[in-house]
Chain A
Amino acid sequence: MMLKRIILLLVAATLVVPAASWAQAKPDFSGTWKFAASTPPNYPGSAGWGVPSPTIVVKQSATEITLQSGQYGSQMMTVVYKLDGSDTIWEAPSVTQSGSTAVVKWRTKARWDGNKLILFTWNTALNQLRDILSLSGGSLTIVRGTEQPGPSTNATLTYSKGS
């Protein structure tokens, strides 16, 4: 009887442990996402920064996530966020506070908050973006906050899976 119970426990464990691991696995945001809606409606971003991109192409691996979108300014950009919490730093053109375009330093960082992924983007033209990504029912939700020397903005953006 004792041996039977042990065997049953082992069988149960082999079934439960992978299920628990699966539940703790981080979501994969990969895919092409089409803008669906924003709260507030017609959210404009802030002075050309944080504007909802009509399309976001996401590629995710175990070590990094890459977003190709127009949310960082008027032009599409490909931006990499490392998933180990370390910084990624590079230089690229950006619109400065005086309205001119200059090459500025950029920095990104990411961290997980449960099943949500928080992406931080900064540049030395004093643009800041904080996106909190989550998946629900086939939709991508981005809770966005922007900071600049001008007004702060907050918005919730919803994207649906595109092709």
Chain B
Amino acid sequence: MRRTPALVLWFVVLLAFTVLTRFASSQQKNSESISVKGGAGDITGQYEIPDPNWPQWAHPYPKPGYIWGSQGGVFAESPNRIYLANRGELKLPDKVPNGFPGNWGFFNQMAATQPIANMVNCIVVVDGNGKLIEAWNQWDKLFEWGRGPHQVYISPYDPERHVWVVDDMRHVIYRFTHDGKTLVQTLGVLDEFGENDDLTRFRRPTMIDWLPDGTFFVADGYGNTRVVKFDKTGKALLKWGSRGTGPGQFNTPHGIAVGGSPPRVFVSDRGNRRIQVFDVNGKFLDEWPGIAPHSMLMSADEHVWAVDSLTDRIVKFDLSGHVEYSFGQFGTRPGYTWAMHQISADSDGNLYLSEVFGGRTQKYRPRPGADPTKLVWGRALMPMAGAGGN
């Protein structure tokens, strides 16, 4: 009888050894497949390993001795017009190691958000090859007292394709003309934060999404704990949410996605590690626990794609909250990610991920033979009035 506990202990140790050995073996196989087969598998999913030279970090963006800093956002208007929201430039060390690929995360030190950045080249537009098309330097001054643009969008339902830029630290959301020449509207009060019941001011807003009629929803955000609904002119209609962990309460509502029929509002309640689902007037419908997304995207095939801050994985949900697929892994080498902050995709199936800590934006091209159900498809934008619909 006395030998029984010892036998049980021996059995447990043997079982643990077997499991750990197999786990280590599978990890090794995984890394082998990445290095040998060129990016297939769990880390980059159905995509090839991204080209570290996309976008082309050529002079003068950034200037010599500097590198782009934290990448707040990316939005692919089309395969040949991609907006990058850059939180300024960071000074490089005097001696840069050989083989430096151009991203801050390579140094494996502090996150790209930590050094004080020079707020220059904050909004730029590149083509499919990563070549610079436009630099909106005329607006760099807007970001001087903050930490740069948080995210960037175009409403899929706007025929004029205004460009929306969220500035969390200065508590405002900007709406620019498509070419960036004119600042059309500023929501919120610059540099003034308001409390949860204040419909004039935000407190570090984070993300936007739209209904087809132009109504839009703002996650607000880091400081407040609410969603604010606006009509298409920018008039605040209502808000919902309070601080807490119950249904309809938030702790850092950071991401938002709108879609489905009837339409629903999916909110990343990041601090509470869940996604909450509401109707368009803020009635709580459901919660999906176990994920803390920085950002979400409603895809063309009506799925919610979420970039998880806990696991650094890109997760595909159906609109009932079932996980259909996921991939991704933390890291600073090409294809890995460090704090994905905005997810975007174009109509060719290219995926774009901006990284706030890694300090880069990566473009993931579908690999040959990729399963289309495992690719992120960006919502088609309304054709641009008076143009071919770039």
Binding site for B on A (CB under 8 A): 96-98, 102, 104, 107, 109, 120, 122, 124-126, 128, 130, 145, 147, 149, 152, 154
Contact = CB atoms under 8 A, between A and B. Distances in A.
Given A147-B203, A149-B147, A124 B116 contact: yes
Contacts, number: 46
A132 to B, nearest CB: 11
B87 to A, nearest CB: 11
Contact of B114 (A98, A104, A120, A154): A98
Contacts of A152: 193, 203-204, 222-223
A102 B114 CA distance: 12
A102 B192 contact: no
Contacts of A98: 110, 114-115
Interface residues of B, number: 18
Contacts of B169: 126, 128, 147, 149
A104 B147 CA distance: 13
Contacts of B100: none
A-B pairs with lowest CB-CB distance, top 5:
A152-B223, A98-B114, A97-B114, A122-B145, A98-B110
Interface in B278-303: none
A124 B204 contact: no
29 contacts: A96-B116, A97-B113, A97-B114, A97-B115, A98-B110, A98-B115, A102-B116, A104-B116, A109-B191, A120-B191, A122-B145, A122-B191, A124-B116, A124-B144, A125-B116, A126-B147, A126-B169, A128-B169, A128-B191, A128-B193, A130-B193, A147-B169, A147-B204, A149-B113, A149-B169, A152-B193, A152-B203, A152-B222, A152-B223
Nearest to A107: B145
A57 B113 CA distance: 35
Interface in B162-190: 169
Nearest to A118: B192
B130 interface: no
A130 to B, nearest CB: 7
Contacts of B203: 147, 152
Given A98-B110, A126-B147, A152-B204, A145 B116 contact: no
A130 B222 contact: no
Q: Identify which of A120, A125, A149 gathers the most chain B CB atoms within 10 Å of its CB.
A: A149
Nearest to A111: B192
Interface string B175-219: 000000000000000011101000000011000000000000000
Contacts of B195: 154
Given A126-B169, A152-B204, A152-B222, A145 B145 contact: no
